[in-house]
Chain A
C-alpha cells in the first residue's frame, strides 16, 4: 500500500479552518480512539511552520495563518504524543523549543500531589543518551519554570522514564482541593502557559487550544467533590476566552451518554448524568462535531472506523462559514498513515 500523506485530503478543510472562537468537538469510543485525529489537527496547524519546504504538497493550504498550539492531555503522556507525532514527521520537542507548541501534562501528576513523585519540569537540556535513572546527585538549579509542590530531593530518578525527558513539557497539572477553587487553580496554570506563547507571538499568529479528554477530570471528581457539568463547562469557557479556537475530545460511549436519558430500572448514576450533560452541552456550543465510532456491522480488516462530521449547535449559518456534513470511513495503517474515504470507495 502506498504511503499516505500525513493529512488525508478529504479531511484537510475540516482540520485547518478554525474560525475565531470556534469550538470543535471530537468524540471517541472505547474501540475508536481520537488520538490519530488530534495528531492531524496538530499537524495541520504546525506543519507549515516546521516543514523545511513550505510549498510542498498539502501544506500550502495552510500558509495564510500561522498558528501556535497548546495541547492539554489528561490520558496520554508526553512520550506518546512525541513519538506518534514523529511518525507523522512532526518534531514536537523542537516546536516546543521554538515556542510554537506547548504541552501540558495532565497525566503524570494530576492526582499524585501527596507523593510529589515527579520533579518539576526542568528546562536544563536533558541528555537523552544517558539513562537518568542512575543516581544523579543534584542537578542544576531550577530554571524558568518555578518548582511547585513539595520538594523531591529524595528521589532523583523519579521523573525520568527511559527515553523520555521532561524537555518540552511546559507544565504539569496537579489537582488539589475541591470544587471551583481547584478548577481555577488548574485554569491559572494553563493560562500561564498560554500567556507565555502569546508573548512570543508575532502579528496574526493564533493560538489553537487542544484539550484531550477533559471529561476524565469530571468523571474522576464528580459532584461529591463539588464539580459538575456546569462547573466544567464554565471552566472550558474560561479557557476558550484566551485562545483563538478550541478542539476538545470527549468519550461518547453509549453508557456515558445514553444511560442518563433512559429512565430505566437502574436509573443513572451521577457520573453518567454529569457526563451526558457536559458532552451534550459542549455539542450545542460547538461549531462542528466529529464523531468517531466503530462499524456497526462488526470489525473489518480494512476499515478502522467511521468518522461523522456534523454541524454543532454553535455553527453560524453565515456565508463565510461553510461546513459540509459528511460521513466517512477511515483506516489506520500499521505505519501510522491514515486513509479516509467515503463508503463504497476504497
Chain B
C-alpha cells in the first residue's frame, strides 16, 4: 500500500491531523468509560431479586388516627384476614420493608454476644407465616414460621428473636461450610441468640445504595408484626392474571375494614414492576445520560472527520487530478483517503486507550468504580475506527470522482 507517502503528506498537515487524532483519542477514552459505567448499571439493574415479581404488588397503609398499638395489631390481623378472603388474592403478608424498597431496617450480624465488629450486615424483614408464599421465595432448608411464633411488638418492646429464617447468601457468609441450619447467631439488638430455623433461596435486601452492594443479598426474616410506626406495608400476590382486579379490590377491602387510613396517591399502591423501576431509576438515569454523552461525542467526532476530510479533499482537488492523470484509479483515490483516515484513527485509538486506562485508574482511586475491562477498549477502538471509515467515506467518494482533467486546469 501507499502508507509511506501518506505519512509523508500528513507531516505537512500536522495541525488538522493532530486535531482529529486527539479528538478520536478523547472520544475513545470517554466513550469506553461511559460504556463501562452503562454496563455496570445494567448489570446492577438486571440482578435478580429472588422474588417472583409478576402478580405481586405492595399497598402501604398509613394510619390516620392515633390508635393504640393493640388496636393496630388487631387491625393488621383483620386486614390480612379480609385480604385472604378476596377472590383475586392468592396470598398476602404484612412487612416493615421489602426487597428493593430502599428504606428499611438493617442490623449488624454477630456470631458471638461479645463480638465488637459485625460479621456482616443484613436486612431485617418483620414477617409472618405468609411472607415466603407471598414473595414467591422458596425455602431450601428448614421450616417456615408457624402462626403462633409471630409476635406483635413495638421495636422498643423487642426482647430478642428466638427463631429466624435467613437468605442463602447470608447463611453462606456466616457459615461457609453450609451447615447454617439450627445454628445460633446474634442478629437482634440485645444479646439473646437467634436460631436459624430456615434458609431461603436467593432473597435481595431492601438496601439499594452501591455502598451496600456487599450486603445486597443478606436478609433475616423475623416472625413479628411491627406496630407503632404509623404505617404498614401489605404485599399481595394476586391470582395469575388478576393483578389489576386485585389492585382494585384490595384498597376497597381495606377501606371497608377501617376508613381511618391513607393510601399515598403516588406510591401508596405499586406493582412490583413499579417498585423495581423506582429502585433503579437513578441507575437507568445514569445509563441513559452516559449513553447520550457517548452518542453526542461519537457524532461530534464523525462530524469533525467529515468536515476536515471534506476540507482536505477541496484543498487537494488539483493534487487528486494529478494523481488520476498519473494513473490512479478511482479506487486508488478512495483508498488513499480511507487509509489516511485509518492511520489517524489508529494513532488516535492508541493514545485514546492509554487515556481511557488513565481516566479509569483515576476513577478507581477516587470513586467506587471497578477496573475497566479490556473488552471495552477493544470494542471502543473498533467502533471508533469503523466510525472514522464511515465518516470519511462520503468525502473520499467525492474525491474519487475528481476527474483527471483537473490536473490541467490552471491554478
Are A and B interaction partners?
Answer: no
Chain A residues within 8 Å of B, Cβ to Cβ? none
